[in-house]
């Protein structure tokens, strides 16, 4: 049981979107049977990422997305012909993996924290892997 990789299938709906996947990750942790350990979360894409941030006020996520387009504009004379360099750069800024502690079979998160899948070049069908190990 320890060591299985769970796959989360995620359908995004917008060009840029932060999707709260905490409950999906928590389900994988529960199904793993691991009580004390680490959940590692990895997404298989070059134009998406993962982050942990506030879930209480939805305007926080809106502000993150609004400012990201200013930091890394959609069009800025990029050379990559596919036309999605902005999304590739955002992916590297955020990173494609996260680790969270698991205790008592549950993920440890702060009161206001959620795990977000970050879409930077949607809408697309995406995959997130979760592996939970004892330690």
> Is residue 116 a contact partner of residue 61, using CB atoms and an 8 Å limit?
yes
Return the number of the residue (36 or 82) whose C-beta is nearest Zn ion: 82
Q: How far is the CB of 83 from Zn ion (least distance, A)?
A: 7
By CB under 5 A, is residue 82 in contact with Zn ion? yes
What is the nearest approach in angstroms of Zn ion to the Cβ of residue 80? 5
> Which residues inside 42-81 make contact with Zn ion, applying CB under 5 A?
none
* Residue 84 touching Zn ion (CB under 5 A): yes
Residues in touch with Zn ion (CB under 5 A) = 82, 84
């Amino acid at each position: 049981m320890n060591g299985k990789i769970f796959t989360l299938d995620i359908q995004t709906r917008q060009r840029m979107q932060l999707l709260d996947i905490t409950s999906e990750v928590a389900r994988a942790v529960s199904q793993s049977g691991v009580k004390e350990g680490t959940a590692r979360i990895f997404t298989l894409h070059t134009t998406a990422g993962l982050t942990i941030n506030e879930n209480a006020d939805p305007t926080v996520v809106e502000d993150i997305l609004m400012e990201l387009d200013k930091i890394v504009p959609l069009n800025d004379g990029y050379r990559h012909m596919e036309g999605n360099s902005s999304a590739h750069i955002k992916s590297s800024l955020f990173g494609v993996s996260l680790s969270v502690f698991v205790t008592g079979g549950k993920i440890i998160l702060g009161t206001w924290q959620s795990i977000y899948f970050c879409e930077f070049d949607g809408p697309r069908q995406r995959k997130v892997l979760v592996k939970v190990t004892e330690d």
